[in-house]
Amino acid sequence: MTRRQYGQPCSLACALDQVGERWSMLVVRELSLGPLRFAELARAVGGAPSDVLTKRLRELEEAGVVEREELDPPASGVAYALTELGRGLERPMIEMARWGLNLQTVVDVADLEPSSLPNAFRTILQPPANARIAIGLRSDGQAYGLRFRDGWIEASRGEARDADLRLAGSPAQVIAALVAGEAAEDGVEIEGDRAVLEQLRAMVVIPERLREEALALAGAAA
């Protein structure tokens, strides 16, 4: 199967020529949190056939979006990582995810994988430029760190050092605790400065319909 190309002198068309194929942006989504081996990436993107994922990675490498890197000891083997060019896709990716909130329902959140939690935070939170916060997240044995600076949230895999606040629970539980407030904190482990949690809640920007659905569910569960 030949790769589809728009062949138009338009920067949007040029971008879609490189990352518009199925699974490509989901690869970017997962690698935005750090390098992954092929098997790890296949699980994280959720259902891409191995031959298709191999093809997408090859195309993204050729476009300079993804690169292979040797893992440091004691690990061994090769992992895939975003290049500097690939990192430039993070902000458009988050903006696209924010647009996608208009097409979601609160029920959809119940199916989020643990690896989706950090990017879900980046999607629903819009911090002010002066916010300087470190957050630790844990879900299903997986740990992530978020650092807020200059109105942007950096995300990475692994334990967050010097976190001001740590939250643990399923993605649905943790997101509900942000959106619906104290009424939805059941099942969420909260460690650290609760004032930071209130700051995060003030940063939530989602369609009002989703907020109303979340508050209704929290009220029904209370």
Q: Are residues 113 and 82 in the same domain?
A: no
Nearest 5°: the CA angle 111, 29, 58 is 125
Q: Residue 62: give the domain boundaries.
A: 11-87
CA dihedral 131, 190, 41, 35 (to 10 degrees): 50
Question: Does 1 score more than 50 pLDDT?
Answer: no
Q: Which residue, of 38, 58, 87, is where some domain finishes?
A: 87
- Mean pLDDT on 33-40: 94
> Given pLDDT bands bounded at 50, 70 and 90, which one contains residue 2?
low
What are 159-218's pLDDT values in tens digits? 998 999 999 999 999 999 999 988 889 899 999 999 999 999 999 999 999 989 888 887
Q: Report which of residues 71 and 175 the model is more confident about.
A: 175
Looking at the structure, tell me whether residues 113 and 205 fall in a common domain: yes
Count of structural domains, the chain: 2
Q: Following DSSP, what letter does each residue of 128-170 receive, concatenated?
A: -TT---EEEEEETTEEEEEEEETTEEEEEESPPTT-SEEEES-
Q: How many CB atoms lie within 10 A of CB 99?
A: 10
CATH number for the domain including 131?
Answer: 3.30.1050.10
pLDDT tens digit string along 80-95?
999 999 999 999 999 9
Verify that 119 and 152 share a domain, yes or no: yes
| pLDDT given for residue 220 in this prediction | 67
Average of per-residue pLDDT across 45-71 = 93
Claim to verify: residue 96 and residue 73 sit in the same structural domain: no
Q: What is the pTM of this model?
A: 0.91
The reply to whether 115 falls in a domain is: yes
Q: How far is CA 213 from the centre of its chain?
A: 22
Q: Which of 87, 109, 144 is the C-terminal boundary of a domain?
A: 87
Q: What is the CATH number of the domain that holds 38?
A: 1.10.10.10
Q: What is the mean pLDDT of the chain?
A: 92
My answer on whether 25 and 37 are in the same domain is yes
